[in-house]
Structure 1
């Protein structure tokens, strides 16, 4: 049985009645750490993480899915965790993103919109000898290798 697949099913089952929550990722590491990342359109509360953890833990024990000792960790993705789903992009509209393109180019801009297969950012483009200009750029999601929300401490 695929542990990650079973955990995904258990999480989806538990959050089925909470349409604002969604599963971001499930990873079983070789060191026995089982990580579940949950997110929500309005963030994720500790109560939601606890409820999912109890549900998943109970069923994994009950079904004896994992035969070795493991450590289950349910949390929301940290700020350093790359965005991976359209819902994560949607909740970050208006924030500044750092984007790594498939061709190695790094871009930065404020996320202004999201389409089915692309994001729209407002980025400052500076040409030599000219003032920086803010332009709207449409970036296809399949040309992005990583996107992170940039936090400014200014």
Structure 2
């Protein structure tokens, strides 16, 4: 987790925001991935990035934002005006931990491996340090296992096409449509 800030001038430090909000977010089934306190913005901005095993929809983001705002309003040391933003990680966030791969189940990912090769596939599973991805091989799909330690960089790919029935079967999902 990164915690970036300059002087917080009347605002809590990222670590204080995490300490204050973590229990509330956990009750809702989410964890705080990052907090940025940007005092150079006018007004200053507090950004809380949350993630969980369930997708963050707009209603949940609004609920978390209201709860965070109420908790921050109760802190007497918060004297500067600020804008609060509660958001989910962007699709460009690198996948760096097993939980990130688990949460990307069914999503298409691009993996840069330590040996310099690249793998494009759909996340099927992650277990005991091994990522299983469904990859296209010629005219069919197959499962490939890759040690997480062998992955130099991994990012989710924006994918507007619907996966094939065979690809969904190998990922462990049924039905059609986008993942």
Say whether residues 1:22 and 2:34 are aligned partners: no
Structure 1 residue corresponding to 2:154, chosen from 147, 150, 153: 147
* More relative contact order, 1 or 2 (CA 8 Å, 6+ apart): 1
Question: What corresponds to 1:43 in structure 2?
Answer: 55
Alignment size in residue pairs? 148
Secondary structure of 2:59 counterpart: helix
Normalising by structure 1, we get a TM-score of: 0.71
Structure 2 residue corresponding to 1:9, chosen from 2, 12, 19: 19
CA distance, structure 1, for counterparts of residue 27 and residue 150 of structure 2 = 34
Kept in 1: contact 2:134–2:141 (CA 8 A) = no
List runs of 5+ in structure 2 lacking aligned partners.
1-7, 162-179
Shift of 1:135: 5.5
Shift of 1:74: 0.4
List runs of 5+ in structure 1 lacking aligned partners.
none
Distance 1:133 1:13, change over 3 A: closer
